[in-house]
Structure 1
Amino acid sequence: MSAKIFVPFFLALCLTAGARDLQQAQAPASGASKPVADLLFVLSAQKATFTDANTLTLTGVTSTAQFYGSGARAGIIPTTVFVNGTAGGSYVSSNGEWLNNPTATLFGFGDNNAQTSLIMTLASPQVSSDGETVTFDVSVVSNGDASIKTIKGVANEVVEESATQANYLQTAVQPGATLSNIALFVDSNREAIKPIAQTKTFWWWGPHWGWGGGWGCGWGCGGGYGWGK
């Protein structure tokens, strides 16, 4: 399956499963111990390599990341802006954490073209100067929902699916393992990451609840483009 076919396929698979929650979620439900995943970022790549159990390298990365939010908000962000994990980066908080070290789900094809998925915590992204290679520090989730930082996100849906589908979800990786035709789905919550935006200049948090590179200044003045209600 080509990368051009693969990305829409997984977007349809995962976004359909979680669309009802992403569109309706505005804030954590009363008494909820975790925030609702009302933001979703998607980054695609040709290949993923686990150089060791805690390091993920994506190569052949697309030039933009996609975002989806409640109220049918959607758009794109330059990859070099989205995964800039250095101090002062658009998605780095004052304590140095990128997107508060979010939970993400990696989809790809392994040996014998077998589809697989992994859930992991992402941290400390590093991007090459040409934006085509991105490296993350990762911790693969092995205990289901317990380590997932949000509820009603793609990761939660995948855990549910794995209960009835054998080999749908891997809970460990071998150093040197590779996957092809990659889609990385990053669950987040807009309320939880407001402190990130508040460390930037005023226009990073625009009238459409946007922030660095995405939704600031009426969609797009930070370098991203999108639409929504």
Structure 2
Amino acid sequence: TGLSLIVVLLLLARLNRPFLRDIARDSSRFWRVTAFTASALLGGSLIWVTLLDNWLQLSGEPYRLSRSWESQRVVFDPVATEIRTVSIALLLATAIGLAALFARHAGGYALQLGILIVATVAWIPLFIFQQRLNLLVLDAVESSSSWTGLAGITAFWVLRTAFGLLSIVATALIVTFLMAPFLTLILDLLRLRVEGTTTEADTFFTALEDRSGGYDDVPVKSHWRPIRRPM
């Protein structure tokens, strides 16, 4: 799951290179440092959790901790407490950095609240589907030995991975946008959240200017022709 998440994030980064380039080349030194720190924390978190922790367990922590009985909060194959503590610290620091960058480059309170609501509503069914598919994969592995069964296991595994990735993303969005409004307020009070200027459209306007430069300005009146009334 961790490797799949890294691949998906790399593809998204490749598709959004102009936007990420604008973030990295922000006119403010404070925001350039913030972008570098957030990207370093994100990379470190991805590597740490993928190698030493469990993404699906992390995404299910809110549900597990909300259970009433101690027996319902038992985790099979648990991760060491020290590793989990470092994972949570890295992810929280990453979420703070990303929330600040979102406030600077993407949107303010209304958009943040909207994303938080959508992510919260989506998390519950995504988590339930992921858990059910996980059980189906385990049952199929134990009971199937034919090629047909192997194909079914593969299909369920792909679905389980997809829903797992979506539940991880939903969890990350919830954590990030729970903190985003407070960070945005602090940045507004400190007058640090100034609207950034982007260069995404520079290529288009440069090409448009080059094309229009080859034409002379001709008054519209020179193209005027009298309109003849129909006979």
Instruction: Decide: shared fold, TM above 0.5.
Output: no
**Greater Cα radius of gyration, structure 1 or 2:** 2
From the two aligned structures, give the one with the greater strand fraction. 1
Higher helix share goes to which structure?
A: 2
TM-score by length of 1: 0.27
Q: TM-score, normalised by structure 2?
A: 0.26
